[in-house]
């Protein structure tokens, strides 16, 4: 049986077929429409799934935003142009004629990473530090989604009550301090206008401001991990995302966490599935959660 997996991100829509051996093939990608009108997303999805006609028996979708009972809502109005209450599951079922499961992308990635580690651990928390900060929580072998699908949105746990305003409308969220967007926004002087990749390259070559920005981000993630350990007693953390996987970043988080009391310490692994985490997680999830 093939699953058609779809990943809806803020900048691109990806799709692929995933077979029973969990091999990914026929991966394609198109840009997410700049226009936030629901018709624009529906047309883009139609274009994306068209090439897979007759090749899959079910569909699994991972998407940015809150995915509650098949409906997509953007938590941050800047993402997906503020697209709200989009009937994602019904739209994909109509376009493909196949049964469909839908899941938040970070929750899907958490499920993929958990499945990879499930021989060792039953309690795993995934944190992605990228343009934003997201996550997903697996407790006792179950993905925590919550009654309103909001579980695991750990980028919006508060890190500093006097911190910057977050895109979600709250003040001082981890995302507003640690994310790639936040790092770039806080950069001044010689780093002004540079993206996170350029700032991290500067940090590697000894620029003091760049190092400080990286440390500030890693500190916020370290405190987040300690809070998660206190709340869930998670057995391991999986760190992903372009910032989370940047050279030296995870080691900084580990060094800071090592200075915390023993009860707050937890091993931190680099994410196994990188840009395919959403696709793989949604497909793996659909195996046990199809209608
Ligand atoms: Zn927030």
Label residue 32 by pLDDT band (50, 70, 90): confident
Model confidence at 290, pLDDT cuts 50, 70, 90, reads low
- On the question of pLDDT at 288 being above 90, the answer is no
The residue ranges of every structural domain in the chain are 3-104+275-289, 108-270
Q: How far is the CA of 174 from the centre of ligand 1 (A)?
A: 7
Look at residue 79 in the predicted model and tell me its pLDDT. 65
Give me ligand 1 centre to Cα 172, in Å: 7
Q: Which of 78-107 are b and which e, b meaning 16 or more Cβ less than 10 Å from the residue's Cβ?
A: ebbbebeebebbebbbebbeeebbbbbbbb
pLDDT mean across residues, the chain:
92
Q: How far is the CA of 241 from the centre of ligand 1 (A)?
A: 17
Q: Tell me whether the CATH fold assigned to 3-104+275-289 matches the one assigned to 108-270.
A: yes
Over residues 61-70, the mean pLDDT reads 92
Mean pLDDT of 7-23: 92
Considering the domain delimited by 108-270, tell me its CATH architecture. Answer: 2-Layer Sandwich (3.30)
The pLDDT value given to residue 131: 87
Q: How many CB atoms lie within 10 A of CB 234?
A: 20
pLDDT digits (tens, 9 = 90+) for 226-272: 999 999 999 999 999 989 999 899 999 999 999 999 999 999 999 99
| 162 CA distance to ligand 1 middle (Å) | 13
How far away, in angstroms, is 274 Cα from ligand 1 center?
Answer: 24
Q: Is the pLDDT of residue 53 over 70?
A: yes
> Beta partners for 139?
142
The predicted-structure confidence for 182-212, as pLDDT tens digits, reads as follows 999 998 998 898 988 899 999 989 999 999 9
Task: Report how far ligand 1's centroid is from the alpha carbon of 140 (Å).
Answer: 27
CATH code at 3-104+275-289: 3.30.420.40
- Span 82-100, pLDDT tens digits: 677 899 999 999 999 999 9
Report the percentage of the chain scoring pLDDT > 90: 79
Is pLDDT above 80 for 291?
Answer: no
Tell whether the torsion through CA atoms of 85, 87, 88 and 89 is positive or negative. Answer: positive
* Euclidean distance between CA atoms 236 and 41, whole angstroms: 36
Band the pLDDT of 81: cuts 50, 70, 90.
low
Give me 49's structure tokens.
């799934």
Distance 176 CA to ligand 1 centre (A): 7
Q: What's the rounded Cα separation, in Å, for the pair 246 and 255?
A: 15
Per-residue pLDDT for 78 more than 80? Answer: no
143 Cα–ligand 1 center, Å: 22
């Amino acid at each position: 049986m093939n699953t058609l997996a779809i990943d809806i991100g803020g900048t691109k829509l990806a799709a692929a077929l995933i077979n029973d051996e969990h091999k990914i093939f026929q991966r394609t990608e198109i840009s997410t429409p700049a226009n936030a009108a629901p018709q624009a997303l529906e047309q883009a999805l139609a274009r994306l799934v068209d090439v897979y006609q007759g090749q899959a028996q079910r569909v699994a979708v991972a998407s940015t935003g809150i995915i509650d009972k098949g409906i997509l809502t953007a938590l941050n109005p800047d993402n997906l142009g503020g697209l709200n209450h989009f009937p994602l599951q019904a739209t994909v079922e109509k376009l493909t004629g196949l049964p469909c499961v839908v899941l938040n992308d970070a929750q899907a990635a958490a499920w993929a990473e958990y499945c990879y580690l499930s021989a060792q651990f039953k309690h795993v928390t995934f944190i992605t530090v990228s343009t934003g900060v997201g996550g997903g929580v697996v407790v006792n072998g179950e993905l925590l989604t919550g009654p309103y699908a909001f579980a695991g949105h750990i980028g919006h746990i508060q890190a500093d009550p006097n911190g910057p305003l977050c895109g979600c409308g709250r003040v001082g969220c981890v995302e507003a301090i640690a994310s790639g967007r936040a790092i770039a926004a806080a950069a001044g002087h010689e780093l002004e206008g540079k993206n996170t990749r350029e700032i991290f390259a500067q940090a590697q070559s000894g620029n003091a401001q760049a190092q400080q920005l990286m440390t500030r981000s890693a500190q916020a993630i370290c405190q987040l991990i300690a809070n998660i350990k206190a709340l869930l007693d998670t057995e391991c953390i999986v760190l992903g995302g372009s910032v989370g996987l940047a050279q030296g970043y995870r080691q900084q988080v580990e060094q800071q966490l090592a200075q915390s009391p023993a009860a707050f310490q937890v091993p931190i692994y680099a994410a196994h599935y990188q840009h395919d985490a959403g696709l793989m997680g949604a497909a793996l999830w659909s195996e046990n959660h199809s209608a």
